[in-house]
Structure 1
Amino acid sequence: MATATLSDLNPAASGTGSLSLGDADFQFLRDFVYQHCGISLGEQKRQLVQGRLLRRLRALGLKDFSGYCELLRRDPDGELGELASVISTNVTSFFREMHHYDLLVEELLPRWLEAKKQSGRLRIWSAGCSTGEEPYALAMVLAEALERTGSKVDARILATDLSPQALETARAGTYAMERMGGVSDARRNRWFLRGEGAYEGLAQVHPRLRELVTIQPLNLLHDWPMRGPFDAIFCRNVVIYFDKPTKQRLFERYAGLLEQGGYLFLGHSESMYGLSDSFELVGRTVYRKRMS
């Protein structure tokens, strides 16, 4: 999946210009980002934030960082998504951490489709979907399972992210061919439309996949409009920079939206150890909601 992580870019390469991010403004930004995004900005990130935000200041026509902080005070919700895009780096790819997809294909999807038969509903949530590679990869294996079984189950994938820029790419569903290294040739031929002429080197996801995926903006730390229940939630490489209390709250909220025995998939460097009693580890970064 999708990773929204703070970058370790070389500050010297960030183009800091002549403006400097002062102590008071940086402290405000640290507090704001933690409150609204759950990410702790250490002092070592000051130059990165300064360099990244200079581009945003120019786009908004602001003269200094104090003006930007004032904008956040006046309209925190209106600028939050752009700020998240500025301070985060979306790192993702198709079929990243392939063992998760293998579990879906070989065990979970056949079991769910059989249990739900003709009248059930199946829901998967890609929480932190970034530019869309994860939900579309999920859509491929789901569509294939539906075709293979002839199932009439009402199956959908919800894909959410905070970044407007990432969501714009996800909604377009168009990717450079070099970004599709994780997709087999068979799946490229089946699930992508190749561009020609001015669109040479690009591929767009098949309309069938787009039918399965609903893409919406969502801040994981704010209210959630959906009620569930979900059969599986993918939240991979998203919570790694959250502090312990934020992770604990998030995992309990996930448990509340999952079916009994539903699955939560985390990233390769993430763990739920000591953070929740609602789940049991059943595979490599795969957790199942305990039966109540």
Structure 2
Amino acid sequence: MSQALLRVTETPARTGQDRLSDADFSRIATLIGGHVGIKLPPAKRLMVEGRLRKRMRSLNCASLTDYCRYLFHENGLENELVHVIDAVTTNKTDFFRENEHFVLLRQKLIPSLTARRPAGAKPRLKLWSAASSNGAEAYTIAMVLADMVERGDDFQFAILGTDISTEMLAAGRQATYPSEMIAPVPLDMQERYLMRGRTTSWHGEVRIVPELRRLVRFQRLNLMEETYPVDRDVDVIFLRNVLIYFDKPTQEAVVSRLVGHLRPGGFLILGHSESMIGTNLQLKQWAPGVFENTSGLR
């Protein structure tokens, strides 16, 4: 449930009659809707065709028709489902995207969380990027918190990044990004938290420093599952710009499950465009898209 935008380079003129039939597109849309919760309306058909052609060729299928025959009639789906999900889900993320949330995290949310911990013990904060895509959000969180610690705040932290896309999880673990992608990262943080390659194989790329990579863990998770294998005392959960792809009942179910993993006083952060989704829940709104779990607070 990541969000990466892929360009469709194939056009009908180049691909001839290699198109999904109405029945095959309907099957794929139903498959993705059922497993991931994302709706694929007819307007997305060209996009889906373009993305599946690459996977089709890697399996030496002659056409999309042959690929769908393998999926739905030759028992290929068991092995292929993860690749179909990787191909058609959308991954769009950036470092310091919607930066107001990271300013609030530094100035308000982390101080609120640490103030609730017992005196004398160094707090260990848990943060979860629940649609982590290629890891840019998780590492942005890590940079902000590491900077706070370096400036004198006394806490420890660990970050979990989850996503349904195996390709995006692999990218997060690798933690290597095009140089142009880190433009939003403040220059002082670039110097401390990014390594620039000096060999030809690293030309034009940067990598997150090992000290931060050790603090971020990635695992596969489908938000459509009824339960999540995640701790239930998480301090901050980020789920930004994902719920907009779900229908309202799915939005409410996912948010309700996520809130169940927040400690009392913990925070759920949604995207700015999703700022009203959580307002019908028993949560206290701090800012657009930012909600505090007030259950269990005295």
TM-score (normalised: structure 1): 0.89
Assess, with a 3 A threshold, how the Cα gap between structure 1 residues 136 and 15 changes in structure 2: closer, same or farther.
farther
> 1:51, 1:16 → 2: CA distance?
10
What SS is found at the alignment partner of 2:151? helix
Letter in 1 for 2:58: A
The answer to whether the aligner puts 1:161 opposite 2:160 as a matched pair is no
**Whole-angstrom CA distance in 2 between matches of 1:176 and 1:248:** 36
Partner of 1:271: 275
Shift of 1:114: 4.2
1:239 alignment partner in structure 2: 243
- CA deviations on 1:27-46 (whole Å, 9 max, x unpaired) are 11111010001011111112
Separation in structure 1 between the aligned mates of residue 86 and residue 14 of structure 2, nearest angstrom:
17
Letter in 2 for 1:224: Y
Which of 264, 282, 285 is the matching residue for 2:289?
A: 285
In structure 2, the CA distance between the partners of 1:160 and 1:76, relative to structure 1 (3 Å rule), is: farther
Give the letter aligned to residue 105 of structure 1. R
Paired position in structure 1 for 2:81: 80
**1:181 positional shift:** 1.1
Match of 1:177 in 2: 179
What is the percentage of aligned positions where both structures have the same residue? 37
Unpaired runs of 5+ in structure 2?
Answer: none
5+ residue gaps in structure 1?
none
Deviations 1:4-45, CA, capped at 9 Å, x for gaps: 277796874896453221111111111101000101111111
What's the CA shift for 1:276? 3.8
CA contact (8 A) 1:3 1:236 kept: no
Aligned residue number for residue 52 of structure 2 = 53
Q: Which amino acid aligns with 1:184?
A: P
* Counterpart AA for 1:113: T
Give the secondary structure class of the aligned counterpart of 2:3: strand
Q: 1:277 to 1:120 in 2, by over 3 A?
A: same
Map of 1:141 onto structure 2:
144
Instruction: Give distance in 2, aligned partners of 1:287 and 1:274.
Output: 7
Conserved 8 A contact 2:251-2:277: no
Pairing of 1:21-36 with structure 2 (within 5 A): 21-36=20-35
> 2:106·2:144 contact (CA, 8 Å) conserved in 1?
yes
Q: Secondary structure at the match of 1:171?
A: helix
Name the CA distance, whole Å, in 1 between partners of 2:115 and 2:189: 24
Q: Contact 2:2–2:165 at 8 Å: present in 1 too?
A: no
Closer/same/farther in 2, CA of residues 151 and 243 from structure 1, 3 Å limit: same
Q: For residues 222-276 of structure 1, give each alpha carbon's deviation from its aligned partner in whole angstroms, at most 9, with x where no partner exists.
A: 2421232211110011111101111011011011111112111111211344774
Question: Corresponding residue for 2:98?
Answer: 97
8 A contact 2:2–2:164 mirrored in 1: no
- Aligned residues of 2:278 and 2:291 also touching (Cα < 8 A): no
Preserved contact between residue 156 and residue 213 of structure 1 (Cα < 8 Å): yes
Q: Distance in 1 between matches of 2:263 and 2:61?
A: 47
> How far does residue 66 in structure 1 lie from its aligned partner after superposition?
4.8
Instruction: State which drifts further: 261-270 or 83-92.
Output: 83-92
Query: Counterpart in 2 of 1:110?
Result: 111
> Considering only aligned residues, what root-mean-square deviation do their CA atoms show, in Å?
2.6
Alpha-carbon distance in 2 for matches of 1:61, 1:148: 55
- Asked if the contact 1:25–1:65 (Cα under 8 Å) also holds between the matched residues in 2, the reply is no
1:257 matched residue in structure 2: 261
Q: Is the 8 A contact 1:28 1:69 kept in 2?
A: no
Aligned partner letter, 2:124:
R
Q: Which protein has greater RCO, CA pairs closer than 8 Å, 6+ apart?
A: 1
